[in-house]
Amino acid sequence: MIAVLALAATVAVQPDTARSHIRINQLGYRPDAVKVAVVCSLEPADIRSFEVRDAAGNRVFGPAPARSSGSFAACASTHRLDFSEFQTEGTHTLVAGGATSDGEWEQLPEGRTATLHVACSGVGLSVARVTSVKFVSPLLHARTSRDELFVVASADVFACAFDAGGVTGGRKAGVVAG
């Protein structure tokens, strides 16, 4: 069995009012592997350091330097957080610039929904009209527009389709896990 350093993660869906989000490998990291996360700030930000905390909230790594890496797409500024030197197994949280990777509920933009495509042991499931998600390693919690809650193993989600929110001529976009 491969030992994995798991980090609680936010999913790449974010509310428009959010300031900074930490993007990490949602499946976890091997203790001896290269480990780099990215902070995406929707407003210009000057993040100089970050730390890793254990499940009890104790700092177990850092403060370590955060490296500014300019703007990218909707991110007014981004910062790379390299914690490759940290090799302790377990569930941990990254903290940088007021943002955490702790898996809070993330809302899709108003009027938008997603469909998660899940398969396990040859059985398929589509979870439609998803409006918010929460990642709690190794599970993905999905809440629908009908206030239904689905909990699936994140490793079983193989694709996600996003709708255009009723926009005339809108298109669907999709993501396939590899």
Averages of pLDDT over each 10 residues, the chain, 178 residues: 36 42 73 89 91 90 96 87 92 86 70 87 88 75 87 85 64 54
In the chain, the amino acid numbered 82 is D
Residue located via tokens 């300019």: 70
Tell me what pLDDT residue 17 has: 31
In angstroms, the CA 78 to CA 67 distance is 8
User: Nearest 10 degrees: CA dihedral of 164, 165, 168, 172?
Assistant: 20
Q: Where are the domains of the chain?
A: 5-100, 106-176
Report how far apart, in Å, the C-alpha atoms of 142 and of each of 108, 160, 166 are: 11, 12, 21
pLDDT the model gives residue 136 = 67
The CATH topology of domain 5-100 is Immunoglobulin-like (2.60.40)
> How confident is the model at residue 140, as a pLDDT?
80
